[in-house]
Structure 1
């Protein structure tokens, strides 16, 4: 399966052309700060699931080391171009290589934003996504 990560030219330049998480932590405890409701999507204990769900609400929330991807190319294009207003890139990632290179995937049946078809990823060591799993980096230019 191929996953897609859409980023703007600006974001790509800031990350030196790499897919890097904004945070450093694989797990978190939830806080009473208004981001989570008492609906069963989070737990009181520290967990990866809490960190993933926090990331899906707001990238880097609680210093999580996660990266958003999607299984839908058109969704990635929207993120790469910030709704067709700027130029960007779409990274194509081969999930068949994830285990070999230490990349973990998280997907939920009840995500915060179902239309995004998000599959959240991270490396075992919370570092950048290995270049070996990126099979293509496609430029998207808005005319």
Structure 2
């Protein structure tokens, strides 16, 4: 399986202690009638893990889900890390072949909300920090997108 990437600003990385942390702590969520979701077949009735991942695509941690965004595109991760090339940031390189051994679940859909982002949502088994054992590399990028 190919590598995944996660781009974060320096500020976010520092706030999370250099770890990949979710905002929420729920593996399954139920959508609410709050005008944040659309009833287009992506969200299902009741609580589900797919709802948690799909809600996360709409808004990080929506409804308390514990998924974290990654992408198949290194250049997209750099764009996220630099806040569209405005600040320095960090790119995490993750090895999906290690997910099973470390209890990491991934979700990717054939009909993503933002196809150009090539998003793969991941979560730890305990809905906490993504285990450092799945991080193959981490490198710093500057606002112009180059490695430091």
Q: Same fold (TM over 0.5)?
A: yes
SS in 2 for 1:92: strand
Superposed CA RMSD in Å reads 0.8
Give the deviation of 1:38 after TM superposition: 1.9
Q: Which residue does the alignment assign to 2:109?
A: 108
Q: Within 2, Cα distance between the matches of 1:131 and 1:43?
A: 32
Q: Which residue does the alignment assign to 2:80?
A: 79
Structure 1 residue runs of 5 or longer lacking an equivalent are: none
SS in 2 for 1:74: helix
Deviations 1:57-114 (A, max 9, x none): 0001001101000000010000000000000000000000000000000000111111
Q: Within 2, Cα distance between the matches of 1:142 and 1:40?
A: 38
Give the deviation of 1:36 after TM superposition: 1.6
Find out whether 1:15 has 2:9 as its counterpart: no
SS in 2 for 1:35: coil
Q: Which residue does the alignment assign to 2:137?
A: 136
Q: Which residue does the alignment assign to 1:32?
A: 33
Deviations 1:14-68 (A, max 9, x none): 0000001010001111111111222111111110011111000000100110100
Q: Which residue does the alignment assign to 2:125?
A: 124
SS in 2 for 1:98: helix
Q: Tell me the matched-pair count.
A: 143
Give the deviation of 1:142 after TM superposition: 2.2
Q: Which residue does the alignment assign to 1:62?
A: 63
Q: Within 2, Cα distance between the matches of 1:70 and 1:39?
A: 23
Q: Within 1, Cα distance between the matches of 2:47 and 2:125?
A: 17
Poorly superposed stretches of 4+, deviation over 4 Å: none
In the TM superposition, 1:86-97 aligns within 5 A as: 86-97=87-98
TM-score by length of 1: 0.98
